Amino acid sequence: MPYAYDPQNIFAKILRGEIPNRTVLETEHTLAFEDIYPQAPIHVLVIPKGPYVCADHFALAASDAEIVDFTRSIGRICADLGIQPGEGGQGFRTISNAGEVAVQEVPHYHVHILSGRPLGRMLQ
Ligand code: 5GP
């Protein structure tokens, strides 16, 4: 396994209850909570409960059950917040940073969900 998971990272501490969080959704395999430094009116972080460093690690090492739970959790959060573009909501952006080039700050896989303001084009 090329990834060494650091159990002292901030999200691991959140999962162990050592640091408080504002929970948006919790399931068997997934936790979602508000970002402490929100970049938009809606800024939710979705993390698997398992020890995965980034998206490719999660995609290749997690079980099907974890992956399904995680993906459906993103859908449920967007539905609960009413931001699905196809349902009259305003839409949203998901981002996941991995490693140095993307300046990943916390080495526990997470997906950002951003909404609530115009986000502009990210890719030109
Ligand atoms: P990254 O740069 O790794 O993609 O994003 C990490 C995110 O975690 C940042 O948006 C940052 O604001 C957020 N974050 C860092 N520490 C904490 C914390 O202790 N609690 C919460 N809720 N978010 C945090």
Task: Enumerate domains of the chain plus CATH numbers.
Answer: 10-115 (3.30.428.10)
Q: How far is the CA of 87 from the centre of ligand 1 (A)?
A: 29
Q: What is the pLDDT of residue 124?
A: 80
Give the mutation target among 6, 8, 9, 10 for probing the ligand 1 site: most ligand atoms within 8 A of CB: 10
pLDDT of 118 over the 60 cut: yes
What pLDDT was estimated at residue 112?
Answer: 98
From 34, 89, 45, 90, select the one nearest 70 (Cα to Cα): 45
Give the mean model confidence (pLDDT) for residues 103-109: 98
Strand partners, 121: none
CA 85 to chain centroid: 19
CA of 45 to the centre of ligand 1 (A): 8
Residues with a known catalytic role: 110
Looking at the predicted complex, does its ipTM rise above 0.90?
A: yes
70-97 tens-digit pLDDT: 999 999 999 999 999 987 779 999 999 9
Nearest to 78 by CA among 32, 120, 20, 22: 32
Model confidence, pTM? 0.97
Residue nearest to atom 18 of ligand 1 (CA): 36
